Structures are given as structure tokens and as C-alpha cells.
């Protein structure tokens, strides 16, 4: 496993290069696409259960707001 500092440095370098090359708005689009890809991969590998997450979301919606 790689060192967390090294991963952070490389991620920051890549993010900085994308921002410098494409601009900040396009960087946000790229970051959103990466986030969506990460989420899809987690669902595909079974690390995130969409049905369970949906049921948890629905069970919390019926509660009354706190005073």
C-alpha cells in the first residue's frame, strides 16, 4: 500500500495540472465524472447496497423535525 502523503501529493498535482490546462469550471466537471465513476464502481463491487441506502433514506423521511 502506498503512503497517504504520496497519494495526496500526486492527486494534488493532477488536480493542479487539470485546472491549469482546462480551467476551474472544466475541472469541476472532470471531478464530478470521477466521483460518479467511483460510486458506480463501489456499487458494482457490492461495497454500497443501493436498496439498503434507499430504505434508510425513506425511513428517515417520516420523522417529525426536532424542536
Q: What is the pLDDT of residue 23?
A: 92
* Span 39-67, pLDDT tens digits: 998 888 888 898 988 888 888 776 665 65
Q: What is the pLDDT of residue 62?
A: 63
- b/e code 14-53 from CB counts within 10 Å (16+ = b): eeeebbeeeeeeebeeeeeeeeeeeeeeeeeeeeeeeeee
Residue 58 or residue 4, greater confidence: 58
Q: What is the pLDDT of residue 63?
A: 60
Amino acid at each position: 500500500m502506498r503512503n497517504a502523503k504520496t497519494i495526496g501529493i500526486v492527486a494534488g498535482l493532477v488536480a493542479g495540472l487539470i485546472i491549469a490546462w482546462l480551467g476551474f469550471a472544466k475541472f469541476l466537471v472532470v471531478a464530478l465524472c470521477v466521483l460518479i465513476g467511483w460510486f458506480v464502481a463501489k456499487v458494482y463491487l457490492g461495497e454500497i447496497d443501493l436498496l439498503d441506502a434507499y430504505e434508510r433514506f425513506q425511513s428517515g423521511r417520516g420523522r417529525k423535525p426536532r424542536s
